[in-house]
Amino acid sequence: MGRSTHNRGTVSEPSLVPTARLLRAGSTPPFAVTPDAAVSGPPDAVRTLREAVRRRTGLDLAAAAATDAAVTLAIDPETGAAESYVLDVDAASVRLRAADAAGLFYGVHTLVQLLAQDESGWVLPAVHVDDAPRFAYRGVMLDVARHFHGAETVKAYIERAAALKFNVLHLHLTDDQGWRIEVPSRPELTARASASAVGGDPGGFFSRADYRAIVVHAAAHHMTVVPEIDVPGHTHAVNLAYPEACAAPTISDHLREEARQRGEDLPASGIPYEGIAVGFSSLRIHDDATYALLSDVLADIAEMTPGPYLHVGGDEALGTPPADLALFMERATRVVADLGKTPIAWHEAGAAAGLAPGTIGQYWGFRVPTDGMDDHARAFVRGGGQLILSPADVVYLDMKPDADFPLGLTWANGPTSLPRAYDWDPAAVIAGVGDDEILGVEAPLWTETVRDLADLDALAFPRIAAAAEAAWSPAPGADERRTWESFRERVAQLAPLWTRQGIGFTPLPEVDWT
């Protein structure tokens, strides 16, 4: 396959990432984007469009009250399902209508991707787009526990993800290495367990005000925040604050034993964990004090979180006997349900028979399931819930994109190349789990090796765009553009936009970025 054809001056065929349900080039000349092209519509959407156009082109479009403006944005529930939009561009006008405010937001980001330059200046190619998401839940996850990432970094990641039509930000707020969220009823958690991080790097935590600011910024970008309190494993930070809630042997016990073998002495308790091993901390499962702590924490988190979901982890609890894990996850999901929220848990929790009805499972096994992980995932569907698919060997953004990459891990059959990250179908991962059983797709970014926004960008981009397409676009086979060959050409066209947005993407060699 060659490059896309250049049949309108220097403007190439309109292309989008994630690609749209329906995209047809029009027959008129392009629409000229000039400062006197006035924009009318709902103020938020007009502002989003004008800001994005200014950032991309340097042009200041006029805001107009009149509906006879050249560029009109409108909400019309008749347009279609939630988040859908229809965009028509011809030489004279740009008409965007959407089912709701989110659809308008996505239509605006489509418009921004279509901006191009020809010999006359900035233009929008004539086009008809009729678009709607395949999945309702399109998530990115950020691990702020292994390395803390402050509110400004999180806001920048929200902007990046929302522009690719993601609508969920899952925050992994707690782990062995640190506790990252203020819990008013249990202040010891941040007082004693937030200062540490992997490798002795600085820790930190979100105050309530920080968290609220993140939630507000996410909402302004049509994203829902899903907070995760990871229990009963991944809980050494809890041990630093409430040792009585934690089972022996603790990570402190392991660290002290290692030190003893080196001939060193460590204190009896309260030793922060700065390594990256997993699976060796657990809460005490048969102790009411554990559930009193858990209930206090989840009540405070629920109160701060307007979104419908609370994630209670449940992964890699190898320090917890299986029967105890089941018992614990049943109680934890019921606490969440009693708070009026929908629980989410990693797929291991599917082994528990009595989870709260409707609990959502998050599958992190491979694209071709191993070790019965698909059985655990299917159990959520039997319990009246749906699944979020995060197959680690295709959507884990913390996997190295190639063997020599300085950041990232490789445990998930890594490295994960861009073609591998692209070439999968969520409905072909778990037998018996098709579109109706799938709530959505989520791309996690664990941060054992990731210290700052530049590191996040370098690992996430461009593979996050492949995840966006899995979450938003029609199934592979249902659309001619849903091929690696098409994606590799379309993603290359985002490079100038990403550069203007200050995104330090990695120009992976499988794409011709010039």
What would the two tokens of residue 252 be?
Answer: 């402190």
What would the two tokens of residue 296 be?
Answer: 């206090």
Shortest distance (Å) from residue 415 CB to ligand TNX = 13
Query: Which residue, 154, 141, 145, is CA-closest to 237?
Result: 145
Shortest distance (Å) from residue 396 CB to ligand TNX = 6
Catalytic residue ranges: 316
Q: Is 144 exposed, middle or buried (0-12, 13-18, 19+ CB in 10 A)?
A: buried
Alpha helices in 24-141 (DSSP H): 43-57, 101-114
Residue closer to ligand TNX (CB basis): 235 or 252: 235
- 197 belongs to the binding site for ligand TNX (CB under 6 A): no
Shortest distance (Å) from residue 124 CB to ligand TNX = 40
Residue closer to ligand TNX (CB basis): 172 or 482: 172
Q: Which residues within the stretch 436-495 sit at the binding site for ligand TNX (CB under 6 A)?
A: 446, 448
Shortest distance (Å) from residue 51 CB to ligand TNX = 35
Shortest distance (Å) from residue 409 CB to ligand TNX = 5
Q: Which residues within the stretch 388-407 sit at the binding site for ligand TNX (CB under 6 A)?
A: 392, 396, 398
Give the C-alpha distances (Å, rounded to integers) separating 173 from 52, 166, 183, 211, 314.
31, 20, 11, 11, 14
Residue closer to ligand TNX (CB basis): 57 or 417: 417
Residue closer to ligand TNX (CB basis): 280 or 396: 396
Residue closer to ligand TNX (CB basis): 107 or 444: 444
Q: What is the DSSP letter of 195?
A: S
Q: Which of 32, 74, 318, 409 binds ligand TNX (CB under 6 A)?
A: 409
Q: Which of 179, 364, 380, 505 binds ligand TNX (CB under 6 A)?
A: 364
DSSP string, 467-507: HHHHHHSPPTTSSTT-SHHHHHHHHHTTHHHHHHTT-----
Residue closer to ligand TNX (CB basis): 51 or 411: 411
For 457, residues 6+ apart whose C-beta sits below 8 A from its C-beta are 160, 503, 504, 505
Residue closer to ligand TNX (CB basis): 105 or 346: 346
Shortest distance (Å) from residue 177 CB to ligand TNX = 10
Q: Is 170 exposed, middle or buried (0-12, 13-18, 19+ CB in 10 A)?
A: buried
For 140, residues 6+ apart whose C-beta sits below 8 A from its C-beta are 157, 161, 166, 168, 169, 170, 442, 443, 444, 445, 460, 464, 467
Give the C-alpha distances (Å, rounded to integers) separating 223 from 23, 128, 158, 226, 464.
25, 26, 8, 10, 16
- 316 belongs to the binding site for ligand TNX (CB under 6 A): yes
Q: Is the dihedral of CA 491, 156, 53, 137 positive or negative?
A: positive
- 328 belongs to the binding site for ligand TNX (CB under 6 A): no
Residue type, 382: R
Shortest distance (Å) from residue 299 CB to ligand TNX = 24
Shortest distance (Å) from residue 388 CB to ligand TNX = 12
Estimate the crossing angle of helix 484-492 against helix 463-472, to 10 degrees. 120
Residue type, 232: P
Query: How far is the C-alpha of 226 from the C-alpha of 311, rounded, in Å?
Result: 7
- 346 belongs to the binding site for ligand TNX (CB under 6 A): yes
What would the two tokens of residue 437 be?
Answer: 């059983």
- 380 belongs to the binding site for ligand TNX (CB under 6 A): no
Q: Which of 100, 315, 393, 489 binds ligand TNX (CB under 6 A)?
A: 315
Total residues binding ligand TNX (CB under 6 A): 11
Residue closer to ligand TNX (CB basis): 297 or 392: 392
- Are the C-beta atoms of 513 and 507 separated by less than 8 Å? yes
What would the two tokens of residue 302 be?
Answer: 């629920």
Q: Which of 240, 278, 285, 395 binds ligand TNX (CB under 6 A)?
A: 278
Binding site for ligand TNX (CB under 6 A): 278, 315-316, 346, 364, 392, 396, 398, 409, 446, 448
